[in-house]
Structure formats: C-alpha cells, structure tokens
Amino acid sequence: MVNGINLALQFLDSFAFIVLAAAGLAIIFGIMGVINLAHGEFILIGAYTATLAVTQLDLPLVVAMLVGGLITGLFGVLTERVIISGAWPNYVSQRTLGRDIIEPLYDRLADSMVATFGLSLILTQGARIRFGNSINQIATPFGAISYGSFSYSTYRIVLAGVSIGLLLATYYLFTRTDFGMRARATIQDKETAQAMGVNTDRMYMLTFGIGSALAGLTGALFAPVISMQPTLGDQFLVEAFVAVVVGGPSVVLGTALSGGVLGAILATFSNLYGTFIGRIALLVAALIALRFLPEGITGFLEQVRKRRQESE
Amino acid sequence: MNRSSVSRRQFLGASGAALVGGLAGCSAGEGGTSTDTTSSAETLKIGVLEDQSGNFALVGDPKAKASMLAIEEINANGGIDGKQIETFQRDPQSDNQRYQELTRTAINEENVDALWAGYSSATREAIRPIIDRNEQLYFYTTQYEGGVCDEFTFAVGPTARQQLGIVLPYLVEEFGPDIYTIAADYNFGQLSADWVKVLANENDANVLGEEFIPLSESSFGSTINRIQEEDPDFVMSMLVGANHTSFYEQKASAGLDIPIGTSTAMAQGYEHRRLDGPAMANIYAGVNYMEEVPTESNTGDGGFVDRYFEMYPDAPYLNEEAETNYFSTYMYKKAVEQAGTTEQPEVIDALESGIELGTEEAPEAPEGETIRLDGATHHVDHHMWIMRADEEHNVEAVENRQIPETFLSETAGCNLPENPEQTQYTPVDYYEEAE
C-alpha cells in the first residue's frame, strides 16, 4: 500500500539528504578537481562543533549550526593552504631551503585522494582521542506533524527547505556574482584568468573554504538526528559520491538533478520494499547511470545541447 | 568542559606508554599492561581483544576496561594460585580480518592460556574456526543470538532466548499481542528476529511484520511509516551499532510514541545517557546487567560500579558486556584454582564441572545473587532484568528473575563433556514458526 503523503515526505527527506551530503563535495571536485576523501570528516567537524556549541556554550541551535559551518569553512581554508596548495609550507621552505616542498594537488585526482584519505584518518582518530567514542546529543527541534495514522518529523521537512535554499544560494553565488565569475574563469582557463587579473590562488582557497563550509553545515544540520560518534561522516559518503558521479560536471544543477532522480528512486523503493531494497536500488541506479551516462546527467544534457546547436 | 583535561591526560598516558614501550624495545614483551615477565612459571597470560576504535568502539571499550579491572583486582590479591596475570591486549579496530590476525598471534606467538575476544557475532564466527583448530580456551562475552555449542568456546553472555524471554512476555501482558520487529541485517539480528517469532508463539502473540536494516543505514523515515501503518501494540528492536542509534531520536521526533522492547539498546551503548529525552522513553531492555541494576554488589558502597569508576574515573558508562568480561575472568580464576594448573584441557574440565560465583564469597556477581556456569552447554544461567527508561531517561528495574539457558540444554540437547562438538544451532532447526 502506497500512501501518497508518506512517499512525498520521504522523497523530500531523501532529496535533502543527498543534496546536503553531496553539495560540499561537488563544489570541491567540480571546481578544483580535488577528490576530498575527508569529506565525511568535514561533516563530522560541523556536527561536533554545532553539538558542542549547544551543550557546552548554550548557544541557540541556529547560531550553533552557523558556527559549525563557519568553523568547518575555516578548517577547509587551513587544509587548502597547508595540504592541497601547500602555500604555507612552501612559504616557509622558500625562506629556509630556497625551494617549494609541496606541489599543489589541483587536478591530481589520485594524489589528492591519498592526501585527503590520510587527513580523514587523522581527523577520525583525533576526534576519538579528544572527545571519546561519542558525545552527548541534542534533541530534534520542532516536533512532528500528523496526518491520518501517520506522523512525520517537522525538522526533516525543514531540512528539505534548507537544502533547496542552499542550492539556490550556491547557484546565485557562482553564476550571478563577481566572485562566481572569477571562480568559473579560474576553472575554465587558469592562465587566461590570471592574465585578466584574477587571483586564481585566492579563488582556489575560497572555493575550497566554501565547499568545506557546506559540508560543515550539512553535519550541523543533521547533528540532532544522527548518532554523534567519530565515524558519523561515513554514512554520508555513499550518497555524496554517487550523487557527484551521477550529477556530472555542472556542479549546482548536477547536484540538484541527481538529488531529485536518486531521491525519487531511494524514497520509492524503500517505501515499497523496505530500507534494504531502497539502498540496493540506489546503487543499481548509479551503476546504470555510469554505464549509459558516463558524463553524468549534466554531461548528457550538454551533449544534447551541442548536437542541437550543430544541427541548426 | 572538564572532558578536555581528562582526554588530554588519556592521550598523554597513551602516548607516554607508547614511548616507554618503544624505548624498552622488545624486552618487556608487548602490550602496555604487561607485568614483570622474568619467570613464565610464575605468571599466566590472558589475551584480551576488544574493539577500542572503529564501529564497535563505544561498546567494546568498556569490555576491555572491565577485563583489566578484574585482572588488576586478582593480581592485587595475589594472582591465581600465586601466579600473576600477564595480558596480551590489542585493539582489533572492529575489523574481522584484524581479529583473525590477532587471534593467531595470541595463540601461536603469545601462547595465551585463555582468550577473551570480540563484540559482534560476525567477529565470533570469523575467529571460531581458528580457536577450534588450535583447541584454544575462548570466552565470548557479548549478549548474542544463542546456540553456539562448541567444546572450546564459553559463550557466557545472555542469549536472545534469555533476553527476549524476560522482556517479550512482559510487554505482551502489559500492552497487547501485536508485535513489529526491526533488527540489524546480519546473523545476530536475523536469528534474534526468529526468536521473537518463537517467543511470540509461546506467549499467544503474533508478529505483524519485520524489517531488517543494513548496519550502514541511519535514515529511518520509511521504517517509522511502516510501523505506523501496521499499528502494533509494541515494537521489538534488535538494532545494532552507532548508525542504528539514530532510530530512537528519529522515531521520537516523528512523534511515534510506542513501547519498545529491546535486547540491544541502552545496556550496551547507553543511549539513555547520550541522547536527550524523550528519545528512549518507554523502552524496555531485557538484560542481565546495566550500570543501573540495583543490587548491593553493583551499586552498593564499594560495589562493582564504585570500583570500575575508581579505576576509570573518565569512563562514560559501565555496560552489559563489561560485567560479563568481569565475572568471566573470575570464573576462569576459580577454574584454574580448582584444576591446579593452567593446562587448557584441565581448566576446561574444571569449568565444565559447573562453576558458580556468588556475592557471599566474593563480589563477582554484580547482576544478582549468584551466576552459574552450565558445564554441559558452556552457557550461563543469568539473572535477567527488565530495565525501563522514562521521559527524563531515568532508568528503573520493573522486573527481574533467574532465567536458565534452555535452548541448548533442553531443545538442542547440547552436552559438551559427553559429546564434544563445534556447532551453532539455530531456532529454524527446531521451531516451525521461526521459518
């Protein structure tokens, strides 16, 4: 028996989860060509920061969540300067050894994976040493809505609204602002952008920071509803990577479309056949997408658009 | 914020121990807790492999700590028959392959006299073939689905039939006969769900539906909807691990207000301490032990709880499995003293003669008056409790009684001293309704 409202709410829930899980990863991968395997741990930083800000500092929940995003963003900038671009270590080594010691990891997929995987291990185990095997959790706000014999957490619906808002804000930022134009110029042609006076180094740093802040905000938003322990980031990884692969090269549109398609599949199958089948359906959908749309949904749309232009 | 200094101290302690260990080289054996190893005849060696990192760290860490508490107490009181206990302690990181490697190391290189290892049933089944091939005395101390009839394994935690056997009839009596089961999707959860069906049949109740959830899952929206659709009188939950903990918070925030019976929540991962109320309100745990069990030897002055937190002031909680690690170490001590040797076949014979721990002679039985090991099945007749949490997450005992292990002894006819074997029996073999 399918209940229409159940299905709709679950779709919103899955959509929000996939979009929020993938947003930060998509920006960092799509724009910088860096596969951030520490993505889950950036989510962890956001979740722990928000939770501790509420339980230890008594901040209001909304403020705590923004702090979670902000701190993670700053940590992202630090990561970018030290590990990804190596700018800070190189600054020191230029003055002591007279040469660079770190080659930037931009567009070096395999190398960036190894470096960020190491970072993820350090962060997980660091959180375990510093905070123990779990930290106390905050309660979910807003209560529930009821319909018939069913009820649903209001907060999960709020999350869906927030995820759409974040998508719109990111879209606006990268398409309608000066910053977005410079960032896109940097991706398309770094040398020309530099020649036009764009500080590409700074663009990379800020983009990584924004991607990290989004990951942190995701962790902060989900902090009340998931279990607070050092490996909590792992549960976002499957959805995040699948969504990025299925979405394709266009960061915002790709994330939105794959969130929509995969969310619909996940919600429908787990509603009809249970959680286990829902998960299998998600992975099968990813397999099919990879086989027939190797460039992702937006890559496919781009091809269609080009073909139409040629035939005109 | 006093956590910070505490954790930093732990960190310094650990790194300091590592440094000292490194300086000492290979002379001091391995493991941060080894005692003097000058003469092996004066010592015996116990292997303790419990998860202190990875998915099961939360539940595994108290097990390791409680083993060390028992060992420290025994050593302080003159050891076992005058022999001090050495330990081989490692962190298998919740990784079954690592468990297999460390089990081989413990048996072949460290020559442990007895081994305590593993949280999950999947881990136990991964290392049991190695244990059996090497004829190694092995204590499995987690509450589990039951049915392991193995001449070298002492599964001393309570079984599903014992845990569900106290809580399910109580809930049928209190709330009605319609049950919905949710369980983790691996051998423990599947077999526990079978036991729910068997016990439902025995108590004139019926299982409306069941769902098995992958261990990696942490979104429970559709599960909550399905429970609401079936509208049972109560839910039986055998969810496992950190990801599944999300269920309780999510069902509370979705307004699903239904009694839940469980063999896994609260007693192991202390969700009632980690989550804000009312996430765990109206949850009934069928357990042999949790920190709040109100016995004199447990919560009394100088009792088990006091001694544990004196040794580990920063530990977050004293859980169900920790107690099992603790008393089984004392069972081993009693068996070695009775056998007069650490030779494993003799110690196993002594254990099979029926060891009993009581509060009169020693404070080793925090869960009740006495704990008796059944020699025929290598299982324990536990004193079982139903512990209920309220809206503010205060925990109270609502019922308690001794529940013997009956599946192996009566239904499957396991008698290891007479008929040595290495089998795991499952309810499907004996009950139609479990199919």
The residue with greater pLDDT, A274 or B125, is B125
The pTM (predicted TM-score) of the whole model is 0.82
Cα–Cα distance list, B380 to A247, B146, B214, B402 (Å): 55, 11, 30, 10
| Portion of chain B with pLDDT greater than 70, in percent | 89
- State whether ipTM is beyond 0.95: no
Domain annotation covers residue A143: no
Please indicate whether, in this complex, the C-beta atoms of A129 and B222 are within 8 angstroms of each other.
Answer: no
Q: What is the pLDDT of residues B392-416, one digit of tens each?
A: 999 999 999 889 999 999 999 999 9
Min Cα distance B318 → chain A (Å) is: 14
- In 3D space, the residue among A236, A228, A52, A233 whose CA is nearest the CA of residue B269 turns out to be A228
Burial class (CB in 10 A: 0-12, 13-18, 19+), A70: middle
B230 — contact with chain A (CB < 8 Å)?
Answer: no
Domain annotation covers residue A141: no
Is the Cβ–Cβ distance between B308 and B322 less than 8 Å?
yes
What pLDDT does B319 receive?
93
B3 — contact with chain A (CB < 8 Å)?
Answer: yes
pLDDT of B18 above 90: no
* Contact residues, chain A, for B229 at CB < 8 Å: 1, 3, 149-150
Domain boundaries, given as residue ranges, for chain B: 1-30, 31-157+296-382, 160-292+385-403
Domain annotation covers residue A78: yes
Min Cα distance A199 → chain B (Å) is: 41
Which pair of tokens denotes residue B425?
Answer: 């029996």
Q: How many domains does chain A have?
A: 1
What pLDDT does B12 receive?
46
B97 — contact with chain A (CB < 8 Å)?
Answer: no
Q: Which of A128, A136, A271 sits opposite B57 (nearest CB)?
A: A128
Domain annotation covers residue A139: no
Residues 305-334 of B with CB under 8 A from A: 316
* Contact residues, chain A, for B222 at CB < 8 Å: 6, 10, 267, 270-271, 274-275, 278
Cα–Cα distance list, B96 to A57, B49, B127, B155 (Å): 40, 11, 8, 18
Is the Cβ–Cβ distance between A116 and A37 less than 8 Å?
yes
Min Cα distance A36 → chain B (Å) is: 21
Q: Which residue of A has its CA nearest to B316?
A: A132
pLDDT of A264 above 80: yes
What pLDDT does B23 receive?
41
Q: What's CA B423's distance to the chain center, in Å?
A: 20
Q: Quick one: average pLDDT of B207-215?
A: 92
What pLDDT does B33 receive?
43
Q: Which residue of A has its CA nearest to B241?
A: A227
Pairing, β B234-238 against β B260-262: parallel
Q: Quick one: average pLDDT of A300-305?
A: 86
The residue with greater pLDDT, A32 or B117, is B117
Q: Quick one: average pLDDT of B425-430?
A: 90
* Contact residues, chain A, for B269 at CB < 8 Å: 134
Q: Quick one: average pLDDT of A110-125?
A: 91
Min Cα distance B66 → chain A (Å) is: 16
Q: Quick one: average pLDDT of B358-377?
A: 74
Q: What is the pLDDT of residues B144-171, one digit of tens each?
A: 999 999 999 999 999 999 999 999 999 9
Average pLDDT, chain A: 88
Q: Which residue of B has its CA nearest to A275?
A: B213
Q: At A188, which CATH number?
A: 1.10.3470
3-class SS of residue A160: helix
pLDDT of B309 above 80: yes
Is the Cβ–Cβ distance between B137 and B341 less than 8 Å?
no
Q: Can B31-157+296-382 and B160-292+385-403 be said to share one CATH topology?
A: yes
Q: Quick one: average pLDDT of B332-356?
A: 92
Please indicate whether, in this complex, the C-beta atoms of A267 and B222 are within 8 angstroms of each other.
Answer: yes
Q: Quick one: average pLDDT of B29-43?
A: 49
pLDDT of B1 above 80: no
What pLDDT does A63 receive?
94
pLDDT-wise least confident of A33-37, B195-199, B256-260, B366-370: B366-370
CATH architecture of B31-157+296-382: 3-Layer(aba) Sandwich (3.40)
Could you give phi then psi for residue B107, rounded to 5 degrees? -80, -50
Q: Quick one: average pLDDT of A147-158?
A: 84
Domain annotation covers residue A95: yes
Domain annotation covers residue A32: yes
Please indicate whether, in this complex, the C-beta atoms of B250 and A153 are within 8 angstroms of each other.
Answer: yes
Give Rg (Cα) of chain A: 20
Q: Which residue of B has its CA nearest to A4?
A: B225
Domain annotation covers residue A256: yes
pLDDT of A115 above 70: yes
Q: Quick one: average pLDDT of B308-323?
A: 93
Residues 365-404 of B with CB under 8 A from A: none
Sign of CA dihedral B328, B330, B334, B335: positive
pLDDT-wise least confident of A35-39, A76-80, B30-34, B173-177: B30-34
Is the Cβ–Cβ distance between A44 and A70 less than 8 Å?
no
What pLDDT does B41 receive?
63
Could you give phi then psi for residue B278, rounded to 5 degrees? -95, 30
Which of the four pLDDT bands, split at 50, 70 and 90, describes residue B123? Answer: very high
| Portion of chain A with pLDDT greater than 90, in percent | 32
Domain annotation covers residue A25: yes
pLDDT of B365 above 80: no
pLDDT-wise least confident of A300-304, B58-62, B393-397: A300-304
Please indicate whether, in this complex, the C-beta atoms of A153 and B11 are within 8 angstroms of each other.
Answer: no
CATH architecture of B160-292+385-403: 3-Layer(aba) Sandwich (3.40)
Length of chain B: 435
Residue A36 gets which letter from DSSP?
-
Which of the four pLDDT bands, split at 50, 70 and 90, describes residue B173? Answer: very high
What pLDDT does B359 receive?
56
Give residue A15's domain range: 4-134+150-226+234-311
pLDDT of B32 above 50: no
Most B CBs within 10 Å, among A7, A124, A137, A227, to test the B interface: A227
